[in-house]
Amino acid sequence: MPALEVPSHVNANAMMNPALSDVSVLISGPPIKDPGALLRYALPIDNKAIREVQKPLEDITESLKIAGVKALDSVERNVRQASRALKQGRTMIVSGLAKSKVDHGVDLLNKLEVGMDALQQVVENRNRDAVAPLQKELLNYVGGVEEDMVDGFPYEVPEEYKDMPLLKGRAAVDMKVRVKDNPNLVDCTFRIVLDGYNAPVTAGNFVDLVERHFYDGMEIQRADGFVVQTGDPEGPAEGFIDPSTEKTRTIPLEIMVDGEKTPVYGATLEELGLYKAQTKLPFNAFGTMAMAREEFENNSASSQVFWLLKESELTPSNANILDGRYAVFGYITENEDYLADLKVGDVIESVQVVSGLENLVNPSYKIAG
């Protein structure tokens, strides 16, 4: 199976007592670990007004860590801040919507405004349990508005990759897994959001394989407390054999650096000397999804994928050895906590695209042969 290994230059002593890197020292504030927030910030938009609505709504999560109903005082401040930001910035937000999506975006803004009034009422009624579900609903509206600000695909994929399956936008898939030997869990469906804005080749390859039903019936092949991995087909091949060429289809290493407009292809950030660069899709969240590959062959990824289970001494959010070395292309956004219950031999019953298939271009699964 393609390797997911500790780099050879990391020695045993460093693994036991990792030193803080320059990157970790430069990080200000706690890293973002929520997959929904990571996806919102990864969108190719630049609209300060909507971000000023988003941030206090996300901060409700921290406010709810305060015990009892005292948390509601902090939540109320968050809601008021978000509501004020929406009223003051609405004109700028609407002006940032793509022309073809204005009506939909305005409708979401109206729902957001009504929802914030409802959340304010929940806080006034001191109904703590109702806060988190409403917060999630409001952030979904915010994310929808932000997606409506993206007008088409923002860049050209390099010539050598432009004819491959590409996801020019986002898509969501549901992965249903049948769990063995677990009396508390028989099956579970994971919702995965794939980000083609930042990884069009990697995400496009995966969606194309999903439409071929490549993963249906496949077992979980690695579950070691660090990652969950699958995608190695039966037989000697370690990746997807394209029936039209009878050869293994491989894709390049693809990494979007924060602040850049196009991804880096074929090289790790370390190889490029970008030691302090931050990736647009970091290994921050439980359930971060990425491509496995051969350790010393950057462009060897094919069909094997993995999900990061948890932080360790080597993978602290925002300062780990995986960012810039493996291509992240999505996050599990629902039921990610159940990843830890998966074992080798559990079966992926199905993976189905539930939205965004229209964003897949050059789909090879439609080609006979």
Q: What tens digit of pLDDT does each residue of 322-357 get?
A: 999 999 999 999 999 999 999 999 999 999 999 999
- Extract the tokens encoding 31: 């890293």
Q: What tens digit of pLDDT does each residue of 299-325 get?
A: 999 999 999 997 655 566 666 789 999
Distance (Å, whole) CA 194 – CA 206: 9
Does the pLDDT at position 29 exceed 90?
Answer: no
Alpha carbon distances (Å) from 204 to 138, 207, 240, 261: 29, 5, 14, 19
Q: What is the pTM of this model?
A: 0.89
- The residue behind tokens 């370690």 is 238
Nearest to 46 by CA among 105, 95, 80, 106: 95
CA 244: distance to chain centroid? Answer: 31
What whole-number percentage of the chain has pLDDT above 90?
82
Average pLDDT over residues 279-300: 95
The b-or-e profile of 247-282 (16+ CB within 10 A means b, else e) is eebbbbbbbbbeeeeebbbebbbeeeebeebbbbbb
Nearest to 281 by CA among 263, 256, 315: 256
Q: What does the CA dihedral 77, 78, 81, 83 come to, rounded to 10 degrees? A: -110
Q: What tens digit of pLDDT does each residue of 81-124 get?
A: 999 999 999 999 999 999 999 999 999 999 999 999 999 999 99
Give the three-class secondary structure for 290: strand
